[in-house]
Amino acid sequence: MEAVVSLVRGASKSEVEIGRFVIYPSEPFLAKDAAEQRGYSFDVAQALTSPVSSSDELAVHVRLVPLSEGMIPEGGQLTVAKAELRPRPKPE
């Protein structure tokens, strides 16, 4: 299974894919504490074609999709503990 991460913006509900990731091996995994959690970063600059104001509503959608056609996902689950937008330092 592959996780597809999208950013959904405001009342328009426009959705833009910002990245994908695969967790391998594809076996059940439960993080017991923060040290065992897995993290992924995506650059959302291209998805945000106009500036974001404090009144804008942003949502992150994560959905599981099969890696290959014909693969039937059975019981696939992914728990997201946290999603956050962090500004990157501006290049000098």
Whole-model pTM: value is 0.76
Sheet holding 2-9, edge to edge: 14-22, 2-9, 58-65
CB count within 10 Å of CB 7 equals 20
59 contacts 8 by C-beta, under 8 angstroms? yes
β-partners of residue 17 are 6
The domain limits of the chain are 2-65
CA dist 37 → 40, 81, 82 (Å): 10, 9, 10
What does pLDDT average to over the chain? 80
pLDDT on residue 6: 92
Of residues 12 and 73, which shows the higher confidence score? 12
Beta-sheet pairing, 2-9 with 14-22: antiparallel
pLDDT digits (tens, 9 = 90+) for 40-90: 888 887 777 766 666 678 889 998 888 877 776 677 788 888 888 777 777
